Amino acid sequence: MDSKNLKLRLPLLIVVLLTLNLTTANAQVAVTNVEINPQTLLVGDIADCKLTIYNPNLQSVKVSSVQFDVPSGLSVKPNFVNVGYIAKQSSYDLYFYIEAKKSGLYSIEVEIYAENGSTTQRINVVVEDRLPKLTITSPIKLNEVNSAEIEITTPLEITHVTIEPLFEADQKYLFFDEVEYSAKGTIKFYGKKEDYKFRISFYNGKNYHSFIQEIQPKFVESKSLFTNITIPYATTYLYDVIPISVEVSNLRNDTVYQISISTNSAKGKFSDCTKEISKLEPSEAKTVVFYYSPTASGFDDLSFNITYRDEMNNVYTFTDKRSIEVLNQSSVSISNVEVKTQNGITISGDVSNNGRSEVLNVYAVAFLDGNTNDYFVGNIDPSDFQSFNIPISGNGSKALVKITWTNKIGETFEITKEVKVKQNVVIKAETTPAILVVAVIVVVVFVAVAIYNYRKRRT
């Protein structure tokens, strides 16, 4: 390029460079970032804020002031700041805080005054008047241990949340690191008609809050335990043994422990006074079997007393009753008794089991004139019989037969029967004089006939 052309173009180049420089220098500063922590406030909260101002120019720009136009209900500190120069293509962070005085939706206008013009930035602020809220999601069962689900809902994100039941509960606290919208937890407590109050503590940003909330839940009655007592017969014999089953069902929503079933009878005995079930889960049922033996006739009232505990060691008790008719007849009887006196005395007969359970170790014992002899019959099945034969000596006219046995629950009983004995020896003693008379008559007749024949031959 020749010097002539260079001289002509140099002024034009200078003008272009000056124009570019003026354009860049006139670019306004801009707000590139606004931070508010926490983003939603409760009344009385303070938010830490940061406003980032960026200088896009190739040279430093002086920002004379930043001013906040704050609506009533909020306060901003500081609300006026002298920034000074911002280096070329650099940012400046302006820190301030907002304090919430009243709930509502607010807009703060920030005016940034620089040497090359002003910029306005709008900041929206939400101040909530709704606190987090607790609910019990299901009805409370009275008089039983409830595993209740507690739900906390919140209109803002909160941290370090502590829920403290202000009544007797298994857990002292529920804790959540962070809750956004909602969270759930479970506590165990005994259901009563009382005030259910909770202390709720949390942080919103660096702002600590604590308040007490009372919940008024729905109450329902506990269904307790249910007993199904089965007596297989409406009537029974004296001393017989019948089974009685007791089914215990847990209709509650909690687990129960140490279930004790004790029995009582005015006219009989049970195989066990008490039986136990270690625990019953909700909706679980278990059955125990007692064996009952009546010892007196008539109607017998049977009592079944049930005692149990819940998870918090509360004790419950109730009684269920049933009735059964006891016939005035022994389950074991003696029949077909005979006394034979040929070649000595033998007493025989049958032992019958009229009951519904096996009788054990049956003995038949005979007593006559101070003498005793027995006969081991053995075991007799229900509705069956066994025979006995007992030889015995003696001169009495009456004998006594006694039957002893043991029933299925180990109780021993006896019945007796008196029988007549016709002694052959006694009968022979009574007929001896008659025989002698007949013999004498025969002899006399024989002698008379002999004398008559002798005299007739002599004549």
Domain ranges of the chain: 25-128, 133-221, 225-320, 331-424
Separation CA 77–CA 118 (nearest Å)? 21
Under CATH, which architecture does the 225-320 domain have? Answer: Sandwich (2.60)
How much is the pLDDT for 371? 92
Mapping DSSP onto H, E and C, the string for 32-44 reads: EEEEEECCEEECC
Q: Which long-range contacts (CB under 8 A, 24 or more apart) does 442-445 make?
A: none
Separation CA 265–CA 303 (nearest Å)? 7
* CA distance readout (Å), 62 to 106, 112, 214, 259: 30, 11, 57, 86
Place of tokens 């034009």: 12
Tens digit of pLDDT at every position of the chain (459 positions): 444 443 434 333 333 333 334 334 467 899 999 999 999 999 999 999 999 999 999 999 999 999 999 999 999 999 999 999 999 999 999 999 999 999 999 999 999 999 988 999 999 999 999 999 999 999 999 999 999 999 999 999 999 999 999 999 988 999 999 999 999 999 999 999 988 999 999 999 999 999 999 999 999 998 889 999 999 999 999 999 999 999 999 999 899 999 999 999 999 999 999 999 999 999 999 999 999 999 999 999 999 999 999 999 999 999 999 999 999 999 999 999 999 988 889 999 999 999 999 999 999 999 998 899 999 999 999 999 999 999 999 888 899 999 999 999 999 999 999 999 887 644 333 444 544 444 546 455 565 555 555 555 544
Under CATH, which architecture does the 133-221 domain have? Answer: Sandwich (2.60)
Residues in the chain: 459
How much is the pLDDT for 116? 86
How much is the pLDDT for 23? 39
The two three-digit tokens of residue 328, written as one number: 């005035």
How much is the pLDDT for 428? 37
- Residue 335 sits at the vertex; the CA angle it makes with 332 and 336, to the nearest 5 degrees, is 160
Separation CA 261–CA 263 (nearest Å)? 7
Domains 25-128 and 331-424 share a fold: yes
Q: What is the pTM for the complete model shown?
A: 0.66
Q: Which amino acid would we find at residue 389?
A: N
In this structure, which CATH number among 3.40.1350.10, 3.40.190.10, 2.60.40.10, 2.60.120.10 belongs to the domain 331-424? 2.60.40.10
- The DSSP bridge partners found for residue 364 are 375, 403
What residues contact 391, with CB distance under 8 A and at least 6 apart? 344, 345, 346, 373
Instruction: Give the dihedral of Cα atoms 267, 269, 270, 275; nearest 10 deg.
Output: 90
Separation CA 152–CA 82 (nearest Å)? 45
Q: Was domain 25-128 assigned CATH 3.90.850.10?
A: no
How much is the pLDDT for 344? 85
